[in-house]
Chain A
């Protein structure tokens, strides 16, 4: 294991970071921006999490204790918007910012100024969104899905919501274009497509999904705007439109969106498991094909969110079959991970623990997803807490755990210090236990008939809600440990080697820790020993 690549990072022409706050405002450096993205994501995770805690506090017992039902609905709506567009998506973009250039041997992202723009839009977009909490009529309360006609009853918040979504769209599209172009154009010579680490592959496909669907969301909310303020009739039957049309357009965006939140996670997990199993990833090629198949299928399943709107039977059948099909490529991924672990030599550092929990719990969420796809049964599950349980299983111990796994995995590379392993493990166990306490009981309350988006419920659901609320507070407070670990690690700790983990391979591990401000001045060579796919065998 040699710390080869002696790059000279102190060429005098070199633009290092500017001092003070202007460094962060003006930076075009992918690592600075990655850091900004990660802190932004964490902040939003806190804010969205606190909104979730308001929800869970109100649902702790039957009866209305704390908030007005309208405000409750606002919390549900804002919680989801903040978590999805502020927590998970920027989290993944942050990881891509940090890691993609290092993994493919690029000097930076292809369009560094656009990268800065894409980031700085976000705080302003969320200022717009969060400011709705203080306007006349309160924050948007029609659910994150913004169905008309209900959403059109919002007060002054509606244009703010819509413009916030537009800004997030600009941010995502510019970010995605940047990543696609970086991957397609900036690879070091020798880094062929099928030698790219899987995190890069999954992001390439995710970015493609983003570019394809964010404009559709922008179109959909624009139609809401004109229906409300400019007299159009897209979603009103009286003028020949249809409220359900919005749902079709929204979910044409919305379903790929949920895969936008899971494909990069698949990438991260595929990076971590081989390292800690000390074994090459099983079935690299099939992982790539499976990712692409999932992305393709994600465009033709959207209506599974709207089985109850009264579609023609043929359409219901088509969307049911297409949705079920997604289990096949996803299964391939799960099986490949298990096969990678099989006969490996595993150790259980924090990133690996999170990755393992991901495989378990995401699969459980996937199973409930498959159940939801069965139309006759979905007539019962739909809009009940069973759905809430499903998507939190894929989102929290899925997407969020993968981000946490990635943070622990790459933190030493970013800071040059090892994090506190004991505290990391504590964070892991508390999170894993509480996440199940929070969301597992929701399966039962949903099956027993509890609808979602209600501030108060019939007394037979009391026990499960109480358990769930306790879990939520436990999970929430456990996240303070993560904050503590990260800050501690930034400030100091045992120095990390360049390779960091025994058995880690890839260009990102071939440079020192902390990674220098500019990782690769000129494109590095890509030796077979640093290729994480099985491709060196073919070479």
Chain B
């Protein structure tokens, strides 16, 4: 692969990788993972083990694949052109993530603004309430006319969730400072701020976990708490999964900085920036969540 780089004499020549077995292995890993998950859901005992094996395989393959890409990058295979490709790709990937969250935000909107009021007889749905759910009145939060999952309480917005908002916003700022320091070549300061960002990510996750424990153990707020529980946990849960991934990525990038992968003169530190984009995206989703799930 390195030989490829040295042969790239003409500047416009685009890097075309050698044939590779990584993607195929990655596919197999996904396949094992999904077979395992499906059989687990179908009550097959071995399902969860296959699931676990698949998960490990996916992680291992991601590691191998990314390590390869990092090596190519360090070997100088990528130039301006490739850099642009990565930037475009990451932007479109984040756009697809936005649309994924949009589906769940859409569900929240639909339930709050449309279906719950309809169940209480609003609009042209007089009969729905009259004949099926007599006495049900629209309110939010709600677990529906049959009080699915039983009475529950919600988590107030201005406690820990607000704290978490601040944590994430601050972590976005610390990341940007780190970015700046990287460009100025102050690696020590940069590392410190990256460490801080990772720590804030972990802190967020810690509080989030505490919230979940509280919800399940004391508030009786669960995934099964009707439409409120469903939207609440799916939105915050998927967001939490993204924060986990983001924190992991931040940690890896921090290690790479420590190893001296990104040089101040070198403006192709895209790996660093893409993690930043991802982190900011996660941040923005949280703000949306905070407003629409907790506050409003």
Contacts and interface: CB of A to CB of B under 8 A. Distances in A.
Are A and B direct contacts in the complex by CB distance below 8 Å?
Answer: yes
Interface of A: 13, 15, 17-18, 22-23, 25-29, 106-108, 110-114, 116-117, 120-121, 124, 127-128, 135-136, 156, 159-160, 163, 166-167, 170, 173, 176-178, 180-181, 184-186, 211-216, 218-220, 222-223, 225-227, 229-234, 236-242, 244-245, 248-249, 252, 310, 312, 518, 521-523
Contacts of A222: 234
Interface residues of B, number: 74
Contacts of A22: 19, 21
27 contacts: A26-B21, A113-B17, A120-B27, A124-B27, A128-B35, A128-B38, A160-B38, A163-B34, A177-B89, A186-B14, A186-B85, A215-B100, A218-B100, A223-B103, A226-B223, A231-B149, A232-B229, A234-B111, A237-B119, A237-B132, A238-B226, A239-B146, A239-B230, A244-B115, A245-B111, A312-B123, A521-B13
Given A25-B21, A116-B24, A220-B103, A233 B227 contact: yes
B85 A181 contact: yes
A178 B92 CA distance: 10
A107 B92 contact: no
A223 to B, nearest CB: 7
Contacts of B228: 240
Given A240-B143, A245-B110, 15 more contacts: A13-B4, A26-B19, A113-B23, A128-B31, A181-B85, A212-B95, A225-B41, A233-B143, A233-B226, A237-B132, A238-B148, A239-B143, A240-B145, A240-B227, A242-B114
B148 A239 contact: yes
A34 to B, nearest CB: 15
A279 to B, nearest CB: 35
A111 B17 CA distance: 9
B84 interface: yes
Classify the interface of chain A: helix, strand, loop or mixed.
helix
Contacts of B103: 215-216, 218-220, 223, 249, 252
3 closest A-B pairs by beta carbon, nearest first, are A219-B103, A240-B144, A117-B23
Contact of B118 (A136, A242, A521): A242
Most buried by B among A23, A112, A241: A241
Contacts of A167: 30-31, 34
B73 interface: no
A224 B26 CA distance: 26
A338 to B, nearest CB: 36
Contact of A231 (B27, B118, B223): B223
Contacts of A159: 37-38, 41-42
Given A26-B24, A245-B110, A240 B142 contact: yes
Nearest to A252: B106
Nearest to B35: A128
B91 to A, nearest CB: 9
A120 B23 contact: yes
B21 A223 contact: no
A436 to B, nearest CB: 38
B37 A163 contact: yes
Contacts, number: 232
B227 A241 contact: yes
B151 interface: no
B270 interface: no
Given A18-B19, A124-B30, A181 B227 contact: no
Contacts of B38: 128, 156, 159-160, 163
B10 interface: yes
Contacts of B133: 237
Given A211-B99, A245-B111, A233 B148 contact: yes
A114 B23 contact: yes
B37 A117 contact: no
B148 A229 contact: no
Interface in B95-115: 95-97, 99-100, 102-104, 106-107, 110-111, 114-115
A239 B226 contact: yes
A518 to B, nearest CB: 7
B67 to A, nearest CB: 14
Contacts of B231: 234
Interface string B221-242: 0111011111101100000000
A253 to B, nearest CB: 9
Contacts of A160: 38
A240 B115 contact: yes
A229 B99 CA distance: 24
Contact of B230 (A186, A220, A226): A226
B88 interface: yes
A13 B10 contact: no
Given A215-B99, A232-B224, A113 B107 contact: no
A234 B192 CA distance: 44
Contacts of A218: 100, 103
